[in-house]
C-alpha cells in the first residue's frame, strides 16, 4: 500500500473487508492517531451483512480526505425500529438464523446507502450516520455527527451537524461541479496543480 503525508494511506479496494463498501481512487484514510486502517472506520458491516442481498452500502468517491477516527455507522440491520412496541430485536432469541440470509430481522429497518461524493474532507473523529449523503466538495468539521444530507461545497459541523456556510459563491460552485476535476486523468491533474491548489474565488 502506498503511503502519503504522515502515514495517510490510500484506501485499497482489494483490502476492504466488506463487499458492501466501495471507495474511489486516491481517497485516503489518516488513521495514525487511532492505530488502525480504513476497515476500522466502517461499523456494523460483517459476515452476516455480506449474506444479506439488500444490505445498505457505503459508497465513497475519489480524492476524499478521511481523518483519523472517523466512523461510518452502517449495516443492513442497523437502526432499531422504534415504531414497534419494543425496539429490542426479539428475533435474536430464536435458534434459527437462516432467515437472515434473505431478509433483515423485523426489529430493524434499513436507512439506505451512505454516499460520500468526490473531494470531500471528513474531519477528526466525525460520525456519519446511516443513509446520509454528502455531496462533492463538502467539508465536515472535526467530531461532527452528521445526521442529514450535506450539499455540494458546504461546510457542516457540530452534534448534530448543522450547515455553517458554503465554501465558495454559488456561481463558483456551479463551475466546479461542471468541471469535475476528479474525473481527469492523473497527468492532467498534476499539470494543473497550481490552479487546483490556488484560491477558488
Number of Cα atoms under 13 Å in the Cβ half of residue 100: 19
Give every strand in the sheet of 133-134, ordered side by side: 21-23, 58-60, 114-116, 133-134
Instruction: Give the count of beta carbons closer than 10 Å to the beta carbon of residue 110.
Output: 17
Q: Where do we find the cell 486502517?
A: 37
Any catalytic annotation for residue 80? yes
**Marked catalytic residue, from 20, 34, 80, 106:** 80
Cβ–Cβ under 8 Å, residues 111 and 79: yes
Query: How far apart are alpha carbons 89 and 15 in whole angstroms?
Result: 31
d(CA 111, CA 108): 10
Is there a contact between 127 and 156 (Cβ–Cβ < 8 Å)? no
**Secondary structure (3-state) at 102:** coil
Q: Is 131 left (phi over 0), alpha (psi -120 to 50) or beta?
A: left
- Please give the backbone phi and psi of residue 34, each rounded to the nearest 5 degrees, phi first: -115, 0
**Annotated active-site positions, please?**
80
Amino acid at each position: 500500500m502506498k503511503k502519503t503525508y504522515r502515514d495517510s494511506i490510500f484506501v485499497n479496494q482489494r483490502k476492504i473487508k466488506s463487499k458492501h463498501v466501495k471507495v474511489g481512487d486516491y481517497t485516503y484514510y489518516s488513521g495514525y492517531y487511532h492505530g488502525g486502517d480504513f476497515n476500522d472506520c466502517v461499523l456494523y458491516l460483517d459476515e452476516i451483512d455480506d449474506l444479506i442481498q439488500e444490505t445498505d452500502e457505503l459508497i465513497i468517491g475519489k480524492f476524499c480526505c478521511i481523518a483519523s477516527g472517523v466512523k461510518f455507522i452502517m449495516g443492513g440491520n442497523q437502526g432499531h425500529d422504534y415504531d414497534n412496541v419494543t425496539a429490542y430485536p426479539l428475533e435474536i432469541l430464536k435458534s434459527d438464523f437462516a432467515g437472515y440470509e434473505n431478509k433483515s430481522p423485523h426489529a430493524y429497518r434499513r436507512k439506505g446507502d451512505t454516499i460520500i461524493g468526490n473531494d470531500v474532507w471528513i474531519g477528526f473523529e466525525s460520525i456519519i450516520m446511516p443513509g446520509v449523503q454528502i455531496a462533492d466538495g463538502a467539508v465536515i468539521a472535526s467530531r461532527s455527527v452528521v445526521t442529514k444530507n450535506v450539499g455540494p461545497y458546504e461546510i457542516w459541523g457540530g452534534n448534530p451537524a448543522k450547515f455553517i456556510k458554503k465554501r465558495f459563491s454559488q456561481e463558483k460552485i456551479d463551475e466546479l461541479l461542471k468541471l469535475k476535476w476528479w474525473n481527469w486523468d492523473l497527468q492532467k491533474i498534476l499539470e494543473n496543480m497550481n490552479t487546483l491548489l490556488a484560491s477558488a474565488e
